[in-house]
Structure 1
Amino acid sequence: MGASGSKARSIWPFASAGSSGSGTDTSSNGGNGPEQTLVRVRKATPFIFTRRGSMYYDEDGDLAHEFYEETIITKNGRKRAKLKRVYKNLMPQGVVKLEHPRIHVDFPVVICEV
């Protein structure tokens, strides 16, 4: 409940290519040498270097998670200020480069055991 895993369970980017037939010839050089094993095991890197940004740019170029504008409401002769959330004319931040690489959530290794 609440887990953030990959929804595509049939595609496993960290699996070895030994059973999928990656096109490498195992008959040459004596079959399963250590060099061929390393080449077959590393299909994708377990690190994440970028992420999708969660903030937005407004018309002025300011960057924030959400924007509000102040509106004046007159009710019973009294002026009152109210904040109204802005949804229009916002542009997503896009892809953000991470300072330090992160490990992918679906990487099948126990990092720390308690």
Structure 2
Amino acid sequence: MGGSGSKVKGVWPFSGSGNGGDSVSDGSEQSVAPIKGSRNATPFVFTRRSSLYFDEDGDLAHEFYEETLVTKNGRKKSKLKRIHKNLIPQGIVKLDHPCIHVDFPVVLCEV
């Protein structure tokens, strides 16, 4: 759905510790104090960046094409030319149903 993983390395936004869960501890070390605000993180995603664009007429689509007539060897042929200019991204879109974040570190269903 257009989402990607977190750019922050070593910090799980859904866990209570800031060590990322990657290190192996033998029980003699103290755990790192939780990062402020990480307990308020939710595993749900409510918005996403849209991959749709608006054109000059206000139409909404992934790609826009215009038909052009090409004359080659006395024959008229129509071709589609992709439009790249004057397109405005739709931006952030609210999801109808919340999704689970890709970095959520829990197995939800095991088969």
TM-score, normalised with respect to structure 2: 0.76
Larger gyration radius, structure 1 or structure 2: 1
Residue 33 of structure 2 corresponds to residue 20 of structure 1? yes
**Corresponding residue of 1:73:** 70
- In the other structure, the counterpart of 2:20 is none
**Sequence identity percentage:** 67
Distance, in Å, in 1 between the alignment partners of 2:38 and 2:95 is: 26
Matched position secondary structure for 2:85: coil
Which residue of structure 2 aligns with residue 57 of structure 1? Answer: 54
Q: Which residue identity lines up with residue 10 of structure 1 in the other structure?
A: G
Residues 111 and 21 of structure 1: CA distance in aligned 2, closer, same or farther (over 3 Å): closer
Which of these residues, 43, 46, 71, is aligned with residue 46 of structure 1? Answer: 43
Q: Does 1:7 align with 2:7?
A: yes
**Bigger fraction of residues in helix:** 1
Once the two structures are TM-superposed, the CA of residue 13 in structure 1 deviates from its matched residue by: 1.1
Please, which runs of 5 or more residues in structure 2 have no aligned partner? Answer: 18-30
TM (norm. structure 1) is 0.74
Shift of 1:41: 7.3
1:63 is aligned with what amino acid?
A: L
Q: Work out the number of aligned pairs and report it.
A: 95
2:88 aligns with 91
Shift of 1:94: 0.2
